[in-house]
Structure 1
């Protein structure tokens, strides 16, 4: 017991002798120096303040002098982005306005058509009953007067409907809503990509004003789109290009190498020839066909508009003449037959014109014609640009063109090859460029 205790005490003494305590002091900082030596601390503080002032002044000079143009562009980009957001709010408001007005005018078409036909048929029935009765002068007079008033009201309502064409008005607002939504998506894409410029802002404003002019909301004051023009014209809803190219720039070819395999910003001669062939097909097939159909629909609408009002007017006139004749002789009976037949024909014509929405078909052809004209102008202006770097990327442009026409890129290239072969053979291509319309 005592031996083990002695051995443990000896090992503890050996452990103590091996451990030598050491104190690690931190290095003397400026604070410790300041406490011990005040004059030294004042010098260090002065030097540190002077160095801080010198560095801060130099940094300010560098900030102001370094990349001044980039700083200016960043400021302008932020300003342009804020302006685009303001335009976007206006576009969203336009979308809501045109949508609500379109729904309202579609209701006009249904309500006015039903009201006009009901009034016309009621007047026709009263005229027929009055012509078949021979007794009761007071009853005959009431039926004659009622039919005359109803035919007159139907005539005025028919004139108003044929003048404003509610189905065409509703189609105009539907197209305006869709185009404003398309503009909304374009502005949102520009903002998302970033680096918006003043040119983007001006283009967005011009597009909004062009859409307001192409699809007005007002009906009075000459703002309404002409429903019966002398010649069918496609709708124009984009701003006219203010850039006029000089003859030298328009006639000179773009900066491309002769090798069709080499590309510059996605463009080469083969792609340019392909785009030109597609535009030729659009001009010769799609645009001409829709212009022909638009003229046909416009003529049909004119004939129906004149016929509907004319029939109701004849019926009102015959009923008025029959009203002044108290005797139901053969002459008055023949007049009432004319009034009854004219009233029935007026109901049929109005049902075909406004129930079939011929005015809507006319505006649909106007939109399709404008769609193809916009496609032509966009492609031609792109190909006329000499600097390929300023164009949209060629591969993206080709893909967008194919999707717009409802084709794949390979189908678009086959159509261009087919068009070039047909032109070399002196024949016309047997298919349309667009598979959507």
Structure 2
């Protein structure tokens, strides 16, 4: 081993350099390529790419040239006018804007309800405390007079605020905006589905615009002029859909035994849908209208009692410390102030107005289902109806039932109507609300 090391040391320097150079030439070669920079698309290419990636993309159609208003081929091969698609996209953008507006306004009006609730309760409790202090320091001095004036001022201010809040009902306004946002989202999804399927007609555009205007009328944003009546004399289900001309007029043709079948419809399905309509009308809609009337009656009583109690408390605070009935006046001021705080908490903290609006909208939900089913049953031309199997599935989902449970409901409804079975008379159609 020592001999080998010695021989390696005796090698000439040039031979060592050749060995090193030879070893270095066996290393892998690194190829240096020219740098490549990304190619930026032109404005035309960028616009085309954005159009392709847009959420309004219709994957089943082929757009040739929108500038020349050429036709678009739909999924069924029928020609479609791109102008109609543009109009429906414009309606879709308006619906998206309505959704954002109603959500923002709904949050704002919920904040109003919480702010007014805490502010009015704070004012009435502070006024009651000042009335008690004024009664304890009764003697005609300046401190007692200042407490009386402050108590009366706070009670009058609370009365004024209560009258405004009870008139506009912020909790009910918030519920209206939440319902409007939900219904506009539903309309938004329906329009998107039509655009994705590539099935667009002029009737679809007109129907979408009518739905938008009907929702604007049913759930207005302004407070002055177009605000919904918060204490109506007659309680009716909420209506947020446009009226259709063919909803009435064919009621006498329902019992016709020679009705045509097809498009998923037969006589048995018609009888089932007719039984469901009867149950919705007799049970679900009537129940929620009854609850709406009770909530409205309670809300009226609380809305009147609050300002009356604060006014009475203000009068009692004004007579605190007088020679005649000063102690009774202080008691009236304190007790009425505390009771007004309790009434305000029940009305606006419990959101009785929101409960009334919720019941009214539930009744409207069942009324809409009833009108849709009646419109399909009354339509003589079976091809113009919605497919029977699809409609049956929709009704089952909207009522929270399976298809077998829906058939059982229709059977029990027809039996109870004929007087054969009274045990199912109390069953409601919906399992959701």
TM-score interval (norm. to shorter):
0.7 to 0.9
Deviation of 1:288 (Å): 0.7
Q: Give the equivalent residue in structure 2 for 1:181.
A: 185
What is the aligned partner in structure 2 of residue 311 from structure 1?
309
Choose from 369, 379, 382 the match for 1:385: 379
Instruction: Determine the C-alpha separation between the residues in 2 that align with 1:251 and 1:99.
Output: 42
Q: Aligned equivalents of 1:166 and 1:148: distance in 2?
A: 26
1:408 corresponds in structure 2 to 402
Alpha-carbon contact 2:247-2:374 (below 8 Å) kept: no
1:329 is paired with a residue whose SS is coil
Q: Which has the higher helix share?
A: 1
Unaligned 5+ segments in structure 2 are: 1-70
**TM-score between the two structures when normalised by the length of structure 1:** 0.78
Q: CA deviation at 1:232?
A: 1.2
Closer/same/farther in 2, CA of residues 224 and 74 from structure 1, 3 Å limit: same
Alpha carbons of 1:152 and 1:102: their partners in 2 closer, same or farther (altered >3 Å)? Answer: same
Residue 245 of structure 2: SS of its match in structure 1?
Answer: coil
Query: Given the superposition, is the C-alpha separation of residues 244 and 395 from structure 1 closer, same or farther in structure 2, using an over 3 Å criterion?
Result: closer
| Corresponding residue of 2:345 | 351
- Provide the residue aligned with 2:278 in structure 1: 280
Equivalent residues of 2:292, 2:359 under 8 A apart: yes
1:237 aligned to 2:240?
yes
Alpha-carbon offset, residue 425 of structure 1:
2.4
CA RMSD of aligned residues (A): 2.1
1:88/1:75 Cα in 2 relative to 1: closer, same or farther (>3 Å)?
same
1:298: Cα distance to partner?
0.3
Q: Distance in 1 between matches of 2:167 and 2:318?
A: 25
Alignment partners' CA distance in 2, 1:229 and 1:191: 40
Select 1:370's aligned residue among 364, 370, 388. Answer: 364
Once the two structures are overlaid, the 10-residue window that deviates more, 119-128 or 418-427, is 418-427
Alignment of 1:25-424 (within 5 A): 76-135=80-139, 137-220=141-224, 222-243=225-246, 250=253, 253=256, 256=259, 264-322=262-320, 327-424=321-418
Report the CA distance between 1:286 and its aligned residue: 0.4
SS of 2:228's partner is coil
The residue number in structure 2 matching 1:39 is none
- Kept in 2, the 8 Å contact 1:254–1:386? The answer is no
The answer as to whether partners of 1:294 and 1:362 remain within 8 angstroms in 2 is yes
Give the total of aligned pairs: 357
Matched-pair contact (CA < 8 Å) for 1:254–1:384:
no
Change (3 A) 1:362 1:304: same
Q: Which position in structure 2 is the counterpart of 1:57?
A: none
Q: Secondary structure at the match of 1:436?
A: coil
Distance in 1 between residues matched to 2:381 and 2:408, nearest whole Å:
27
Q: Does residue 431 in structure 1 map to residue 432 in structure 2?
A: no
Tell me the distance in 2 between the aligned counterparts of 1:178 and 1:276. 28
Give the structure-2-normalised TM-score.
Answer: 0.79
* Higher mean C-alpha deviation, range 193-202 or range 135-144: 135-144
Contact 2:312 2:333 in 1 (8 A): yes
Alpha-carbon separation, structure 1, partners of 2:251 and 2:351 = 49
Alignment partners' CA distance in 2, 1:426 and 1:299: 37
How far apart, in 2, do the equivalents of 1:254 and 1:78 lie? Answer: 44
Kept after mapping to 2: 8 A contact 1:256/1:264: no
Change (3 A) 1:95 1:420: same
Whether the 8 Å CA contact 2:85–2:200 is kept in 1: the answer is yes
Deviation at 1:369, TM superposition (A): 0.8
Larger deviation, residues 410-419 vs 91-100: 410-419
Alpha-carbon deviation of 1:320?
A: 2.8
Offset from partner CA, 1:360-402 (integer Å, 9 cap, x none):
0000011001101101111101111111111111000000000
Say if 2:316 and 2:329, in contact at 8 Å, map to a contact too: yes
Aligned residue in 2 for 1:8:
none
CA shift for structure 1 position 251: 6.3
Task: Report deviation, 1:123.
Answer: 0.3
Shift of the alpha carbon at 1:75? 6.0
> Aligned-pair distance for 1:250?
4.7
Give how far 1:234 is off.
1.4
On the 8 A contact 2:159/2:311 being kept in 1, the answer is yes
Structure 1: stretches of 5+ with no match in the other structure: 1-66, 258-262
Bigger CA radius of gyration:
1
Verify the 8 A CA contact 1:407 1:435 in the aligned structure 2. Answer: yes
The answer to whether the Cα contact below 8 Å between 1:255 and 1:386 also exists between their aligned partners in 2 is no
Residues 131 and 114 (structure 1 numbering): CA distance in 2 closer, same or farther, change over 3 Å?
same
